[in-house]
Structure 1
Amino acid sequence: MISQSLLLAVLASAQAALAAPAPVPQGQEATSSFGPDVQVSASPVSSPSPYPVIVEENGYTSATYHGPYTGTPTTTGAVDGPTTLAASVPALPPNPTATYYNADGVPKNAFPAPYVPAGGLGTNGTLPRYMVNSDFDFESIALGLYQEWIELDLFHDGLARFSDDDFTAAGLGDEARSLIEFMADQESGHATLLTNMLGEAAPKECIYDYPYTTVREWLDFMQRLTRFGESGVWGFINHLDSREVGQLLAQSIATEARQQQIFRQMSGLTPMNVWFENGWPQSWAWTMLAQYISYCPAGTTRLAWQNFPTLQFLNNANINRYSPNDTATDGSENVGSRITDPSVSNFTTGNCINLNATGYGCGPSVAHNKTEPLSFPGKQVMLQWEAPGKAVGPNMSYVTATNAGTPKFVAWSAQLNLTYSPLTVTGENTGYTYQPYAAVYGNDGIINGTMAVMLTDTDLFVTPFNATMLNPHIVALGMYQAG
């Protein structure tokens, strides 16, 4: 149970953050108490010189600079520990303590208290401590905080960048913009929470480099970014050493899931197209996120997670077409070459944005039924991937890397499954595969949604709880728009 002092402290911190000019508050400190032994002060964020911090336009605020890094990195590579014990984590049999089985539904052990069955973690009456409890916890929550900061800035940026007429042309009015502004306010609270659980070394807000030029592309980018934000947390939350941190994180990521659904609706996509959301390892989420971070303040905490080379889908479906698979095969219908860059929207022939036709229109809506799916089993998917060694991320100070061998398979991570299809190599770092068909239960097709897809050197068997075992075998990582 969360103490009243914690709730009041977190609320006070969030109110202080919201009272400052968003998204980079200056001259304020947010303080939160975590029980009798821990007091944390979150330092204010400053923008890298020489860029001013805030611009006001259309009644909204955003950082004045969103562009690439132009300096020289002083540090390169992911942060490392004192030593590394092995090249990879070995595959082991089930935990020897995992033996409980209940065939008749009757409790087997004495109850520690009335109506309290035996077992459970953190249920023995100890005082909750809402702080990270291991290096794994710290690096995971720090990744989550990087995610919350970019969402706070991203949601504000489109509101400030685009005019009323731009939003009207995209089918969004004042009420939709007000909702997005509220979602930005939610990110202020999430960032405050995660900062307080990390302490003094919590990462600060950075300057970002976005790919979109239209409202539609902004919405598309946000539904992709909130996908890896949500899935990146589902992938590690049950591995955290601190159950208390996991509890509060779950309460924030439930909101993130709603944000992703809303951005899908605003993009004209069906809001719920899978039976189960997918969880991704931290390095997958960090690979997708880092490409959009330009500058970070001096001394910002660095992360330990891997940055994989980019996998591009040259004929990925375009959500702005009424026939979404009538796309070029050279990647030109993506606005850029980064992993989660949105589909281009500023074309006329075949555009579905303002098309009032059931099954083909793609304007904002509670739900659309598509006559033509965004993708389909058997579709030939054209691939191109980068070699490792590319400078990416904050201050261009991280480097893409892979320990894998020659790519042989395409791994599709969605719902409860990781499904492989064979890769056909056609040239240097180019090839194709065919979108596979498989089902989770009944007729629920696995390949659906905004999903992570990888090139691998083997078809290793992994499940949702141990997907990180695949990391040493990943050649390149991408995001596929399947529905």
Structure 2
Amino acid sequence: MASYRFLLLSSLGSLPLALAHPGLNIVRAANTTSVGPSVASNATVPATATAPANVTAPPVVTYSTTQAHTPFTGVPTTTGALTAGPVGPGIAPQGINPTATTYPSDGQLHNPQPGPYIPAGGVGTNGETPVYNAKSDFDYESLALALYQEYIELDLFHDGLARFSAEDFTAAGLTAEDRFLIEFMADQEVGHATMLTNILGAEAPRQCNYIYPYTTVSEFLDFCQKLTRFGEAGVYGFLSHLDSREAATLLTLSITTEARQQMIFRQFEGLFPMPVWFEVGVPQSWAWTLLAPYISSCPENQTRLAWQNFPALSILNQPNPVRINGAEAWRETISNGTNALNSTAVPSSQTCLNSDTVGVDCSPAITHNRTNPLSWPGREVYLSWEAPGQPVGPNNSYVTSTNAGAPKYVAWVTQLNVTYSELTLNGSRAGSTIQPSVETYAGDPAINGTVFIAITDTDLYVTPFNITMLNPHVVAGPALYQSG
């Protein structure tokens, strides 16, 4: 019989446990998980393999599909983000590391090869057995944030299916097969939550109670599209910075599924599925700012997060994808931050949901091209934002804050770019700006799809790898701008 190896991650048990099984090589310990090496070099693997019988799959996390979805009404017993003193002054720019540009990059090999067909270098390539755990506070807090995200998606997809009838979905252009796809995406989140829980250990965050702003299927789909957008982008922002390369590998395998979910929801609401050349990454505090308002309450002694909650940012003329001319929308959103669309505010004569005209029709489809773009370079965008100090998130126990100075710019974070436009103030917490005209590379408009914007006090130069340097300069936001 062939030798099989299964990646079974577990944080159960307080004592190391070696489990022997034909083809199975697992080591379990409290809060750590390791997986044995690949098939030994002296193993014989037949050309035709037969799966071993009676292999028990590892268990998944427990979860509920009957959450109350009611606002929190109590008094928080703890407020503010998780902290550990002393807190330093922040990260100062250090310039370029002198060793960063020493590799000649000439296509030749410059060091002895550790084995046949293996070039020298790489991280985690020295033969050590990988251990899939958090290796720093940064790791734990980042992975915990990702787990909060997986749990809300698990609940969100179930809630939409439970809240709306089959007739409601049919009226929105979705069939029973489409509903099954949403159910399957909820099942995917069970796996993602299980994987992250096993990496984090016994103190991993658990499922919470959530509140959602949507009242129609179209609003549900748009909210899902935007929530999966910042869930995906929030992981891309920290993935390459994790100390645990092993955990990063597993998270990569889950977040690529999340990217597919975001594309599916774009198709469900009649948007072009992938109107960009590159997906964007944003800091953890940006993702937590967008996520936290939809968490009503969490279990007692829930693991808290260290990330910042910025003041909420609203887009007053957020383009509305269910309008024939989406750019004509004014105050047609049901939430700030995500700025999800309001479908009931659109007159029946202006909706594109029931049209069969090419270029106008925005019913669910593999792809649509719109005659009227949702936005364009030179469009004036009107914004308003909250003052800091607002309670938000689980049990109203987090508080929005900013360390920035006076608002001066709008940062447009999309694909490989962070582009700034000047902010014209109209009061203390309102203003407007002009959508920039910028390309990632020639032929690729950088501002397209669902992008992130934030109010800042400076036009700091940052790139995808160090975008967190912008956090001290964020006055409000981020907000999701539906540019295409």
TM-score (norm 2): 0.88
Distance 1:446 1:43, change over 3 A: closer
1:299 is matched with 301
- Quote the Cα distance in structure 2 between the aligned partners of 1:125 and 1:428: 58
Aligned pairs for 1:368-447 within 5 A: 368-447=368-447
Q: Give the superposition deviation at 1:36.
A: 5.0
2:68 is matched with 65
1:213 counterpart = 2:211: no
Which of 35, 45, 70 matches 2:27? 35
Aligned pairs for 1:36-435 within 5 A: 37-38=29-30, 62-86=65-89, 88-328=90-330, 331=331, 333-336=332-335, 338-346=336-344, 347=346, 348-435=348-435
Distance 1:204 1:6, change over 3 A: farther
- Quote the Cα distance in structure 2 between the aligned partners of 1:39 and 1:462: 36
Q: Give the superposition deviation at 1:287.
A: 0.3
Contact persistence 1:411–1:454 (CA under 8 A): yes
The amino acid that maps onto 1:400 is: T
Contact persistence 2:315–2:339 (CA under 8 A): no
- Quote the Cα distance in structure 2 between the aligned partners of 1:313 and 1:187: 30
Q: Give the superposition deviation at 1:38.
A: 4.4
- Quote the Cα distance in structure 1 between the aligned partners of 2:291 and 2:138: 19
- Quote the Cα distance in structure 1 between the aligned partners of 2:427 and 2:457: 17
- Quote the Cα distance in structure 1 between the aligned partners of 2:239 and 2:254: 12
- Quote the Cα distance in structure 2 between the aligned partners of 1:322 and 1:407: 34
- Higher mean Cα deviation, 295-304 or 34-43? 34-43
Q: Which runs of 4+ in 1 moved over 4 A?
A: 3-6, 36-46
- Quote the Cα distance in structure 1 between the aligned partners of 2:239 and 2:122: 16
Contact persistence 1:6–1:35 (CA under 8 A): no
Q: Give the superposition deviation at 1:126.
A: 0.4
- Quote the Cα distance in structure 2 between the aligned partners of 1:218 and 1:181: 14
- Quote the Cα distance in structure 2 between the aligned partners of 1:269 and 1:428: 35
- Quote the Cα distance in structure 1 between the aligned partners of 2:349 and 2:290: 31
Question: What is the root-mean-square deviation of aligned Cα atoms in Å?
Answer: 2.0
- Higher mean Cα deviation, 98-107 or 391-400? 98-107
Contact persistence 1:407–1:457 (CA under 8 A): yes
Distance 1:136 1:64, change over 3 A: closer
The amino acid that maps onto 2:404 is: A
2:55 is matched with none
Q: Give the superposition deviation at 1:9.
A: 5.0
SS in 2 for 1:451: strand
Q: Give the superposition deviation at 1:39.
A: 6.0
Q: Give the superposition deviation at 1:229.
A: 0.3
Distance 1:372 1:297, change over 3 A: same
- Quote the Cα distance in structure 1 between the aligned partners of 2:447 and 2:240: 24
- Quote the Cα distance in structure 2 between the aligned partners of 1:367 and 1:45: 37
Structure 1: 5+ residue runs without aligned partners? 13-32, 47-52, 54-61
- Quote the Cα distance in structure 2 between the aligned partners of 1:410 and 1:173: 40
- Quote the Cα distance in structure 2 between the aligned partners of 1:422 and 1:278: 22
Contact persistence 2:30–2:201 (CA under 8 A): no
SS in 1 for 2:140: helix
CA displacement, residues 42-71 of structure 1 (integer Å, 9 cap, x when unaligned): 99668xxxxxx6xxxxxxxx3241121111
The amino acid that maps onto 1:459 is: D
TM-score (norm 1): 0.88
The amino acid that maps onto 2:333 is: N
SS in 2 for 1:239: coil
SS in 2 for 1:94: coil
The amino acid that maps onto 2:70 is: G
Structure 2: 5+ residue runs without aligned partners? 13-24, 34-58
SS in 2 for 1:465: helix
SS in 2 for 1:466: helix
The amino acid that maps onto 1:305 is: W
- Quote the Cα distance in structure 2 between the aligned partners of 1:382 and 1:99: 43
Contact persistence 1:40–1:200 (CA under 8 A): no
